[in-house]
């Protein structure tokens, strides 16, 4: 019959707590990196958006638009 030593159980709980604290630190660090990357991506998107608006105001052709065709004779 196995006996459950309270000291063994306490030590097991301490190990689990330490592992969870380490995991929490790693996740917090990863979260910081992801937030920094999101900020940088947002800045890049804003610069691209400003550049596109400036090009459109200056009359740069939109490469996605098809040129309009003038109506011709049918037949």
| Closest to 55 measured CA to CA, from 64, 42, 67 | 64
Q: What is the pLDDT of residue 18?
A: 98
pLDDT digits (tens, 9 = 90+) for 58-70: 985 655 666 666 6
Q: Does position 1 have pLDDT exceeding 50, yes or no?
A: no
Q: What is the dihedral of CA 39, 42, 47, 51, to 10 degrees?
A: 170
25 phi, psi to nearest 5 deg: -60, -45
What does the pLDDT read at residue 4? 79
Q: What is the pLDDT of residue 61?
A: 61
pLDDT tens track for 9-42: 999 999 999 999 999 999 999 999 999 999 999 9
Running DSSP on this structure, what letter comes out for residue 63? T
Alpha helices in the chain (DSSP H): 6-57
Q: Where are the domains of the chain?
A: 7-54
pLDDT at 2 over 60: no
């Amino acid at each position: 019959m196995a006996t459950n030593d309270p000291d063994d159980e306490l030590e097991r709980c301490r190990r689990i707590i330490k592992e969870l604290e380490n995991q929490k630190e790693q996740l917090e660090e990863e979260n910081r990196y992801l937030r920094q990357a999101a900020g940088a991506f947002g800045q890049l998107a804003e610069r691209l958006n400003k550049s596109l608006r400036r090009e459109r105001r200056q009359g740069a052709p939109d490469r996605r638009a098809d040129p309009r065709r003038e109506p011709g004779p049918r037949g």
